[in-house]
Amino acid sequence: MASGLFTCNFDRMKFIIYKIGAALVVCWVILIGLTKLYDFALHQNRDIKAAYVQTAKIDADILIHGPCEPLWMISPEWLDKQTGLKSYNLSLSHSDFADNYLHLYFYLKNNKPPKYLFLYVTPESMDTNYNTFNTYRFASYVGDAVVDSVLSDCDAAYFKWTTIPFMKYGYYSNKINFEAIQGLKHYFTKRELPYYVDGYEPPVQIKWDNHLEKFIQLYPQGYQFKWDNKREKYLRKTIELAQQKRIRVYLYESPVLKEALAYQPNREEIVNKIKSIAGSYNITYLQFEDMKISESRDYYMSTLNTNLNGSRIFTDSLGRYIKDEIIKN
């Protein structure tokens, strides 16, 4: 009788283990399926630049790149009227140089190299307290050797989980879910163009937002920029990638509100280091620091970001510089 009871319990344990195993296999398969669905959906989202530039033939002559400053300040439509060339704004909000590097890599996979790359660089660009590497933007491209290399370098805590099905999306799901749903909508409605076709996003805010006042409250003695070696590493990699494709690279800084400069005590030191990097690649670092708009808040919504009027003026100035100092020469 004891033997029969043992056999019964053993069979019951085998059945339970079987059910658990089967459930795990089903979950694993579901997660693999969800991963593929999210991959597909995100690649259909025309409002995601990483996806759009890898499917659309943009083939711009001028590529504008960097974080929110160029994203909100340089309109290809206005620029093209000045230069007679075709431009595209590849910039993304709050992006660091590693983020910029991967988006340039994506663009060049599907488009001919532009003649010119204008990459925004300011002292804030070299400090990790400003901008960031937005890992979630690259989740659907895990498996690409270049992407994997940057992810493991810039977000190792995330990358180590990406071998588990769906974890590359579950880790930052609050950033991904809506974009995946939107991608499916674009697929079923056969949408081919993004909302901002040329990549430029006009600034929605037109009035000063007290950014500087809040900054002064936090740092009454000013803020000392901190140079980050990883930022420098990916600035260099971005320049090198462009030069490998025979693109003429220009680093540039749009006009900074002059009254803010008093609160950047080591600005000149950082600017000189940026100039040194530019010099090491035999490229120009353009600074539009003497523009009249830098003297008035009327053209700004923060110390680095111009409003719509300021953006028109700066884009016009950049276009004239390109036409008169680059194209004609």
Least confident of 46-60, 126-140, 196-210, 254-268: 196-210
Q: What percent of the chain has pLDDT over 70?
A: 94
Q: What is the pLDDT of residue 213?
A: 86
The domain spans of the chain are 60-163+198-327
- Within 13 A of 160's CA, how many CA atoms are on the CB side? 2
pLDDT band at 134 (very low <50, low <70, confident <90, very high): very high
The average pLDDT across 68-80 equals 96
Given a contact cutoff of 8 angstroms between Cβ atoms, the answer to whether 274 and 121 are in contact is yes
Please say if the pLDDT value at position 242 is more than 90: yes
Token pair listed for 22? 């089967």
Please say if the pLDDT value at position 205 is more than 70: no
Least confident of 22-31, 77-86, 216-225: 22-31
Query: Which amino acid, one-letter code, is at 167?
Result: M
Q: What is the pLDDT of residue 159?
A: 95
Please say if the pLDDT value at position 272 is more than 80: yes
Please say if the pLDDT value at position 131 is more than 70: yes
Q: What is the pLDDT of residue 37?
A: 96
Burial label for 286, CB within 10 Å (0-12, 13-18, 19+), is middle
The average pLDDT across 139-152 equals 97
Given a contact cutoff of 8 angstroms between Cβ atoms, the answer to whether 117 and 247 are in contact is yes
pLDDT band at 321 (very low <50, low <70, confident <90, very high): very high
DSSP state of 207: S
pLDDT band at 11 (very low <50, low <70, confident <90, very high): low
Please say if the pLDDT value at position 207 is more than 80: no
Given a contact cutoff of 8 angstroms between Cβ atoms, the answer to whether 124 and 130 are in contact is yes
Token pair listed for 33? 């399926």
- H-type alpha helices, 134-248: 145-154, 156-159, 167-170, 173-188, 211-218, 229-244
Please say if the pLDDT value at position 118 is more than 70: yes
pLDDT band at 17 (very low <50, low <70, confident <90, very high): confident
Please say if the pLDDT value at position 218 is more than 90: no
pLDDT band at 85 (very low <50, low <70, confident <90, very high): very high
Closest CA to 253 of 158, 126, 167, 135: 126
Q: What is the pLDDT of residue 10?
A: 57
pLDDT band at 23 (very low <50, low <70, confident <90, very high): confident
The average pLDDT across 158-176 equals 90
Q: What is the pLDDT of residue 210?
A: 67
Please tell us whether the domain made up of 60-163+198-327 is placed in CATH 1.20.1250.20. Answer: no
